[in-house]
Structure 1
Amino acid sequence: MKTLLRTLLTALSVAMLLMLAACGGSSSGSGSSGGSSTSLNIAFLPKAINNPYFDTAANGARQAATELKGQFKQVGPTESSAAAQVPFINTLTEQHVSAIVVSANDPNALAPALKRAMQQGIKVVSYDSDVAPDARQIFVNQANSEDIGRIEVQILGKLINYSGDIAILSAASTATNQNTWIGYMKDELAKPQYKNMHLVKIAYGNDDDQQSFQQTLGLLQAYPDLKGIISPTTVGLAAAARAIESVGKGGKVMLTGLGTPNLMRKYVKDGTCPEFALWNPADLGYLAYYAAAALVEGKITGKPGESFNAGKLGTRTIGPNNVVLLGPPTVFNKDNIDQFNF
C-alpha cells in the first residue's frame, strides 16, 4: 500500500512539474511571435558613456524597455574610439544578449566583432552613427543625413551674411555620421549663394570636452579673421561655445551645429550660438529599442518595406539600405528653446 502511495505521489509530482513548465513556456511567449519580455535583453553601446546626448537616448530606451517589459542596459568606453568599443561587443556576445544597439566610432573597425555576434544569433542595430551595412540588420538614423548637413550650413550662412572664413569642429575623424554630414556641408557650400564663404579647416575634438575646447581655441588663434564655426557634435558645440566666450569673441565668431537645449540654452540667449539643430535623442533611443525588439521577436528581419510598431512613435517602415528614419531635424533658437528640456 505504501509503495502504491509513493508511486502515486511521484506521478502526481511529475505531472505538476510538467504543468508548471508548460505554463511557464506559454507565459514566456505571450504577446509575441518567438519573443517576449524574458527574451528582450537588449544592450546599448554608445560611442562613449557619460555623454549627455547618449544619456538622454538611454532614457528613451529605458522607457521603451518598460513598455515592452524587456531588459535594458548601457555599457561603453569613457573615450570615443572604435578600439575601446570592440571589447564591449565581445563581452556582450559572450553574455549572449538578445540584441546589441551600437553607435559606431568607426564603421569598419567594429564590423568583425559585430558579425561574430550576428553569427551567434544576436540581433544588431546601429543608431546615431552607422556601421558597415553587412554588420547590422537595421540602422536607426536620427534624421536624413543630407538634411542635417545642409541645414547647418544654411543656418551659418544667414548668421554671417554668406561671407567669410569658416571652420568645422567635428568629433572623431572616422565617425560615420560626422563624415557623411560634412560631405553634404561641402556640397551645400558649393552652391552659388555661398561663393564668399570659405571652409579653411576641419578640426577634430574626438567628442571630448577638453579636446574640443582646445581645438576651438586653436582655430581662433590660427584664423584670426574666422567668421563662423559649425560643430556637428553635441559635446563639440558646447565646448566651442565656451571657448569662443573665453576669448571674448561671443557674437563675433558665429557658432552653430548640433546640440541639446539644456547645454546650449545660455549660449543661444547671449548670442554666442543663436541657432542650432538637433532631433530628440530620447526618441532616437526609444525607436532603436523598439526596432531591436521587433527583430528579436521575429516580427521583422530588417528588410526594406517591413513595418513594425514603435509605441508612441507609431508604425515605422524600413527604408532603402535597411534604414529607419526618426524624422526631420528641429532648429532651436531663443523663440523656442525654453519649450524643450533635454
Structure 2
Amino acid sequence: MRTLTRLLDRRTALLGVATLSLALTMTACGKADTGTSSDGESGGSGDKPLSIVFLPKNLGNPYFDASDAGGKKAVEALGGTFSEVGPQTASPDAQVQYINTAAQQHASAIVLSANDPKAVGSALTQAKSSGTKIVTFDSDTEAQYRDLFVNQASPEGIAKAQVDGLAEQIGDSGEIAILSASANATNQNAWIDLMKKDLQADHPDIKLVDTVYGNDDDQTSFDKTAALLKNHPNLKGIISPTTVGIAAAARYLSTSKSKGKVALTGLGTPNQMRKFVEDGTVTEFYLWNPTDLGTLAAYAAAALANGEITGKEGDKFTAGDLGDYTVGADNTVLLGDPTGFNKDNIGDFDF
C-alpha cells in the first residue's frame, strides 16, 4: 500500500509539473496573448506577457482554494495567465520541483506559501536569478529568498485574538493545548511563540500543556485531537491556528462527550466551520479573508513583474478593489486585522 501511495503521489506531482509547463509555454508562445487587459494596461513588463504561478502548501486545502481563487481573478483582470500547482502533501521540500519548473519556463512571478523557511531557499534563489519575482504569502521564507511577503495580518494580532478569545470562553483559567500544522511552518511557529508570551503576560492562570502537529492533514489532525483529550483529561480548550486542524478538531469534538466542555478556537473559514458554530461545538474562531489575501498577493506580484515596485519599504501600489497599499518594513505588505466569526455574523460570509 505504501508503494502504491508513493507511485500515485509521484504521478500527481509529475502531472502538476506538466500542467504548469504547458500553461507557461502557451503563454510564452501565444502571439495573441500579449498580456494586455481590456482597458489597455500592459499585463507584463515590456512585451513579455504576465504569467503568475500560485504555489500553495498543498492542493485540496479549502483555505488555499479560496486564496488562489482570489489570485486567479486578479491575474485574469490584469490580462495575465494564472497557474496553480503544488504537492498533495505539505512537506518541507515538496514545493521545490514546482519552483524549478516555473523558473525554467520564465514565469513572471511565483506566489508561494512556504512549507519551510529554508528548504525552498536554493530553488527560489535560482528562480530570482532567472528573472522570476518571488512573492510569499500566508507563510514566509527567510527574507533573502523572496522579493516581498504579503502578510495576512500582524503576527501579534493573530496570536492575541486566538488567546484572548479562548481565555474568555474558558473563564481565563485551566489547561489548554495547541494543534498546529507542520512543525516547520513559519507562520505557525511565529504565532505559537507569541501565544506563549501572551499567556505568560496576560493569562497566568492558563497553562499550555501540549503542542501537537497535524501536518495540515485532516485525519492526522483528527487523531491528534483524540490523543490530546485522552492524554489530558482536564483539558479545557484547544487552539488550532490552521484551517485543516480546526475543522478536524471540531469534527471530533462534535460527536464526543467533550462537546460543550472543551472549547475550541483558531483559524478557519466560515464555510467549513459554519455547522460547528451552529451546533454549539465552536463559539468563535478567527481568520482574515483568504480570497482577499490571494488577490493582494497577485497584484503585488504583478506590480513587481511590471517594474512598478521593487519591494522596498515605502513602495506603493494599487490592488484593484482592495485599494492602495504601501510596502512596510522587511519588504512586507499587511492585509489587515483578523475577523472573529460567531453565530451572530457567520451567515454574512461565504468562503
CA positional deviation for 1:38: 5.5
Contact in 2 for aligned 1:37/1:70 (Cα 8 Å): no
Are 2:225 and 1:216 aligned?
A: yes
TM-score normalised by structure 2 residue count: 0.88
Alignment correspondent of 2:168: 158
Mapped to 2, the partners of 1:293 and 1:34 lie a distance apart of: 7
Q: Aligned match of 1:287 in 286, 290, 296?
A: 296
Contact in 2 for aligned 1:149/1:182 (Cα 8 Å): yes
Are 2:63 and 1:53 aligned?
A: yes
Counterpart residue type for residue 245 of structure 1: S
Alignment correspondent of 1:21: none
Matches within 5 A, 1:165-314: 165-192=175-202, 194-314=203-323
Mapped to 2, the partners of 1:234 and 1:317 lie a distance apart of: 28
Counterpart residue type for residue 259 of structure 2: G
CA RMSD of aligned residues (A): 1.6
Alignment correspondent of 2:336: 327
Alignment correspondent of 2:157: 147
Question: For 1:53-92, what per-residue CA distance to the aligned partner results, in whole angstroms no more than 9, with x for missing partners?
Answer: 0000111011101211111010000001122111111111
**Which SS does the other structure have where 2:325 is aligned?**
strand
Question: For 1:213-247, what per-residue CA distance to the aligned partner results, in whole angstroms no more than 9, with x for missing partners?
Answer: 00000000000110000000000000001111232
Counterpart residue type for residue 222 of structure 1: N
Larger Rg: 1
Mapped to 1, the partners of 2:254 and 2:274 lie a distance apart of: 14
Contact in 1 for aligned 2:166/2:263 (Cα 8 Å): yes
Contact in 2 for aligned 1:37/1:69 (Cα 8 Å): no
Counterpart residue type for residue 44 of structure 1: F
Mapped to 2, the partners of 1:34 and 1:124 lie a distance apart of: 15
Contact in 2 for aligned 1:268/1:275 (Cα 8 Å): yes
* Percent of matched pairs sharing the same residue: 54
**Which SS does the other structure have where 1:162 is aligned?**
coil
**Which SS does the other structure have where 2:94 is aligned?**
helix
Alignment correspondent of 1:109: 119
Counterpart residue type for residue 176 of structure 1: T
Change in Cα spacing, 1:169 to 1:36, as seen in structure 2 (3 Å) is: farther
Unaligned stretches of 5+ residues in structure 1: 1-23
CA positional deviation for 1:28: 6.1
**Which SS does the other structure have where 1:149 is aligned?**
helix
CA positional deviation for 1:37: 8.8
Alignment correspondent of 2:22: none
TM-score normalised by structure 1 residue count: 0.90
CA positional deviation for 1:321: 0.3
Deviates more, 1:200-209 or 1:76-85: 76-85
Q: Aligned match of 2:78 in 40, 56, 68?
A: 68
Are 2:97 and 1:87 aligned?
A: yes
